[in-house]
Amino acid sequence: MSPHRLRRYAGTPRYLREQRAARMEQVERCEMCGTPVAARHGHVVDVQRRALMCSCRACFLLFTRHRAHRSRYRAVPDRYLWDPERPVSAAEWDALGLPVDAAFLLRSGTGITVFHPSPAGATERPLDGDVWNGLAAEHPLLTVAERDVEAILFRRTGNGVDCFLVPIDVCYRLVGTVRLHWTGVDGGSHLHEHIDELFAEITDKALAL
pLDDT in tens, 10-49: 444 555 555 555 554 567 899 999 999 988 899 999 988 8
Find, among 47, 48, 44, the residue nearest to 56 by Cα: 44
Same domain, 18 and 38: yes
Measured in degrees and rounded to the nearest 5, phi and psi for residue 125 equal: -160, 155
Query: Quick one: 88 and 127 in the same domain?
Result: yes
Among candidate residues 43, 76, 109, the one where a domain is terminated: 76
111 strand-pairing partners: 108
Q: Supply the pLDDT for residue 146.
A: 93
Q: Which residues of the chain have pLDDT under 70?
A: 1-26, 65-70
The pLDDT score that the predictor gives to residue 27 is 76
Residues 107 and 200 in one domain: yes
Residue range of the domain that includes 7: 1-76
Residues 98 and 165 in one domain: yes
Tell whether 45 and 116 lie within a shared domain.
no
State the burial class of residue 6 (Cβ atoms within 10 Å of its Cβ: 0-12, 13-18, 19+).
exposed
CB 72 within 8 A of CB 87: no
Phi, psi at 131, each rounded to 5°: -65, -45
pLDDT score, position 87:
93
- Statement to judge: residues 59 and 98 lie in one domain: no
* Structural domain count, the chain: 2
Where does a domain end: 76, 111, 142?
Answer: 76
Pick the last residue of a domain from 18, 42, 76: 76
Residues 192 and 132 in one domain: yes
